[in-house]
Structure 1
Amino acid sequence: MATQPASSPTYRTAPSAVDALEKHLRENPQQKWHHPHPDDVSRSDIYAEDRWHPIFADLRARGPMHYVDDSPFGPHWNVVQHKAIQHVESLPELYSSSWEHGGITILSRRDDIPEEERFELPMFIAMDRPQHTGQRRTVAPAFTPAEMKRMEADIRQRTGEVLDRVPEGETFDWVDKVSIELTTQMLAILFDFPWDDRRLLTFWSDWAGDTEIAMVRDLDEYRQGILMEMGQYFQALWAERAGQEPRPDLISMMIHSEAMNNMSPKEFMGNLVLLIVGGNDTTRNTMSGIVHALHSFPDQRELFEGDASLIPNAVQECLRFQTPLAHMRRTASEDAELFGEQVKKGDKIVLWYLSANRDETVFENPDKLDITRENARRHIAFGYGIHRCVGARLAELQLRILLEEMHQRRMRIEVVGEVERVRANFVHGFRKMPVRMSRF
């Protein structure tokens, strides 16, 4: 592992991103988000309280896309059907991902911030071709089938070690003890990150991935400070490796590529945020979602316990069922007709993957977990088209190994208390999940 730069000073004193936002809302009740439009699904309470299902079902029944003219995130189109999202994703020139037009989340540029003070982080997922192509190609070798095969034994060993530390018959938090620990270890390996500081990656991921924090000027400025510290930490790792021979870690890959070795500090930070949030929140929340789903559907848990050959398909079904990133955003680059609606240049188009993966026209009984589902692979939890998640194979590998190692140890995980979900409209997952382990 890498030598260790000075630890982030904020990490030792800062609250979690969610705690900071909830504290702000308690102290400023007049600032609670106002949602006057009935089709506005940007409000985070429906995800924290897990009551988004019927809202999206109603939207899907009424059509593929719906215009919201008033929301805390500005006017936007909601695209809610599976086929419709794939159509938009297949036209990247017409529907831009570029940070220069607004990026990949529902956030809008704030009017109260002068241009010179804007804190915008370019990243390759928030770029259009050709920039996107070159930068994605730089990191893609870390996620090839050959690399997955090379890493499998190490992932299996680390997964087994984490599971072997799980207490039997005692209540513990699955999110912290298993999901966060496994994904943070994986990120540390990908970056060749100082091992003792690996929980910094989780801390940075949580602050970077919460869209609502950006709606509060003070919290947004606080977050900027945290991400600046992240950038400084990684700059020290960059400087250490700049004079070394190429290695297979992501930082070294960036250093030794023409597409990424001259990045500005903000572009470097943006790509770090992308790789950290993409490698952390998504897999972490699916690892928690798997346990919660198997607990919620005992018939599927029984199938899993009785037949390990179902595990590869179960991974795909759990990705569909959980959908760890709720949405992605595109911006219209010109006027166009889309599903009978007139979209104007500059319009914000929000693609709700969460809804697409419950589309009744694609998935029979979509609100039921079915680990034998024949078309589970049709989920779009990883996106679709040129921006499909570059680390999808690694996520699938981690999830498969987790289920295989749980099965080998005959671990049955039961949820024994109230779960706490992430209060956000972008990252979709769990903050806390009290569970107890027994053997089947």
Structure 2
Amino acid sequence: MESSEVYYDPYSREIVEQPYPVYQRLRQEAPLYYNKKYDFYAVSRYEDVRKGLGDHETFISSRGGILEMIQQNIQMPAGTFIFEDKPRHTMYRQIAQRLFTPRRMMNLEPMVRKLAAQVLDPLVERDEFDFIHDVGRELPMRVIGMLMGIPESDFQSVREITDSKMRTEEGKPLDYGEGLQLEQSFDKYIDWREKNPGDDVTTELINVEFTDETGTLRKLTREELVTFFNVLAGAGNETTNRLIGWVAKALAEHPKQRRELVKSPSLIPDAIEEVLRLEPPGPHVARYVAKDVEIQGQTVPAGSAILFLVGSANHDERIFPNPDHFDLYRGRTPSHVTFGYGIHTCIGNVLARLEGRVVFEELLKRIPDWDVDMEHAKLLSTSTVRGWDTLPAYVNARGAQTIKDRAVQQAQQNAASSASAPATLDGEWVVTVKGPTGPMDSSLALTTTDGVLGGEQTGEGTTTVIEEIAYNPATGDVTWINKISKPMKMTLKFTGKVEGNSMSGKVKAGFMGSFAFTGQKP
């Protein structure tokens, strides 16, 4: 029943940048929508989304909450409680609830406020800053890092690892060809806490006892511990980071309501709720359809994948008057569905709300007035969350000019780099990856045949054929994919820039995250 007029595509950059007009048309013209190209259904009205999220028997979670996971039939590691059904979901969620009780989260407020001050104080004397680089990427990682007992020296690397797993190639689905890859290096934090217990979540996870689905009283296995750590570290960073960016943008665009918050900080929680409704960090939630179900008078067959469009539900004019408008006095009833609904309601919602409130309480004390430079802002490239990768802000004309000058300088550097890009990459390259255990060299041999670039890469005593490679001599941009089998089976995706006989960039190495690499022609 694909609509001939309205088209919705979660991978379309154009739609991701401006989804709400498309959502409105879906609600009006195709409240049950089918995308033939990517083979999924989508529901957009508030009542349908809320009902679907609450029906955990028809719309199951154990196949994943991301469309690509469901369609690629990913096997979930033990302990992925956000992607489980009863009874395992109940078992794991009860463990998580012990760690994230509302009382415990509220008791964290003094620590969150102290960390917020550390992040915000350096910004006070500046003319410009970036809400994502300087705030969003800093505070959430510090909070979850302290909560989980991660050494402060590792905060940045943990954030980079969790961020890298969310990013996708623009316009393309996530590739789970190797399954849901967890960050195995997090194992070291569990090892440390087993020998050095502390007052943190990791220590509690190690020691927690529970009755599993077989009736056995036990502790979490090592696999379950690593999974829990991955889930909490990733979720603890992502939602709050995106929330901070959206609140900053909304308050910049509504200075009158921002001034009201400066005068009456008690209104800040209402502002946070309104932004969560207006710009949910997670625009949709996927489910696997376990049995035939009727929606909007039509049957969605068992075995289908379906998207519940949270971003659309939160803008349903049947529920929220003037839904595209930021209204500080809207109130909290009816409630938005940003954190889900039913048994899978986001367990970290109290912490996210706390961090958002404290950040803007402290920010408005220090910097009551700012604007954002949307010309130089950039949305994150991912199909799973929606938020800003960069969001430059300024407090005066000098700051605004600094942002513009920096952009011009970067453009000039890019142009100079493009001018020095070679016409072809043919030849032998020595590629060095700065891996976690030290530099790793490989040999890259490239040849153009019949106008098509291809080649081989040799490392660890084995040679593999490059599966995909793209090079743009006008910009110097290069990407290639190498699927290796030694020392372990893994897909390596290299993305970089070429200047003369040199190249540099990053390689995404499966579950291990992303690492810098360089290339040189001998």
Deviations 1:330-354 (A, max 9, x none): 1111122223121211111111111
Change (3 A) 1:216 1:387: closer
- Helix, strand or coil: the match of 1:209? coil
Per-residue deviation at 1:396?
A: 0.7
Amino acid at match of 2:205: M
Tell me if the contact between 1:363 and 1:375 (Cα under 8 Å) persists in the aligned partners. no
- Helix, strand or coil: the match of 1:198? helix
Give the structure 1 partner of residue 119 of structure 2: 162
Give the structure 2 partner of residue 332 of structure 1: 289
Tell me if the contact between 1:288 and 1:429 (Cα under 8 Å) persists in the aligned partners. yes
Alignment coverage as a number of residue pairs:
385
- Helix, strand or coil: the match of 2:389? strand
Change (3 A) 1:375 1:404: same
Query: How far apart, CA to CA, are the structure 2 residues paired with 1:346 and 1:77?
Result: 11
- Helix, strand or coil: the match of 2:24? helix
Amino acid at match of 1:40: Y
Q: Which of the residues 11, 15, 22 maps onto 1:55?
A: 22
Query: How far apart, CA to CA, are the structure 1 residues paired with 2:191 and 2:207?
Result: 9
Give the structure 2 partner of residue 418 of structure 1: 376
Tell me if the contact between 1:44 and 1:424 (Cα under 8 Å) persists in the aligned partners. no
2:1 corresponds to 1:40: no
- Helix, strand or coil: the match of 1:389? coil
Give the structure 2 partner of residue 82 of structure 1: 46
Tell me if the contact between 2:162 and 2:233 (Cα under 8 Å) persists in the aligned partners. yes
Query: How far apart, CA to CA, are the structure 2 residues paired with 1:250 and 1:355?
Result: 37
Per-residue deviation at 1:203?
A: 1.3
Give the structure 2 partner of residue 103 of structure 1: 64
- Helix, strand or coil: the match of 1:165? helix
Change (3 A) 1:262 1:423: same
Query: How far apart, CA to CA, are the structure 1 residues paired with 2:164 and 2:126?
Result: 34
* TM-score of the superposed pair, with normalisation by structure 1: 0.80
Instruction: Specify every segment of 5 or more residues in structure 2 that has no aligned partner in the other structure, as ranges.
Output: 213-217, 397-522
Query: How far apart, CA to CA, are the structure 1 residues paired with 2:246 and 2:222?
Result: 37
The structure in which a higher percent of residues are strand is 2
Query: How far apart, CA to CA, are the structure 2 residues paired with 1:396 and 1:428?
Result: 17
2:56 corresponds to 1:92: yes
Query: How far apart, CA to CA, are the structure 1 residues paired with 2:66 and 2:360?
Result: 31
- Helix, strand or coil: the match of 1:137? helix
Deviates more, 1:245-254 or 1:377-386: 245-254
Percent of residue pairs identical: 26
Larger Rg: 2
- Helix, strand or coil: the match of 1:412? coil
- Helix, strand or coil: the match of 2:370? strand
Change (3 A) 1:179 1:309: same
Q: How does 1:376-415 map to 2 (within 5 A)?
A: 378-415=335-372
Higher relative contact order (CA 8 A, sep 6+): 1
Query: How far apart, CA to CA, are the structure 2 residues paired with 1:82 and 1:212?
Result: 30
Tell me if the contact between 1:77 and 1:348 (Cα under 8 Å) persists in the aligned partners. yes
Q: Which of the residues 364, 374, 389 maps onto 2:321?
A: 364
Give the structure 2 partner of residue 67 of structure 1: 34
Change (3 A) 1:150 1:375: closer
Change (3 A) 1:239 1:66: same
Per-residue deviation at 1:37?
A: 9.1
Query: How far apart, CA to CA, are the structure 2 residues paired with 1:329 and 1:216?
Result: 14
Deviations 1:341-394 (A, max 9, x none): 212111111111111111111111111111111236611111111000101111
Q: Which of the residues 193, 211, 224 maps onto 1:241?
A: 193
Q: How does 1:187-206 map to 2 (within 5 A)?
A: 187-206=144-163
Give the structure 1 partner of residue 104 of structure 2: 147
Tell me if the contact between 2:274 and 2:327 (Cα under 8 Å) persists in the aligned partners. yes
Change (3 A) 1:130 1:374: same
Amino acid at match of 1:309: S
Change (3 A) 1:358 1:109: closer
Tell me if the contact between 2:70 and 2:305 (Cα under 8 Å) persists in the aligned partners. no
Instruction: Specify every segment of 5 or more residues in structure 1 that has no aligned partner in the other structure, as ranges.
Output: 1-35
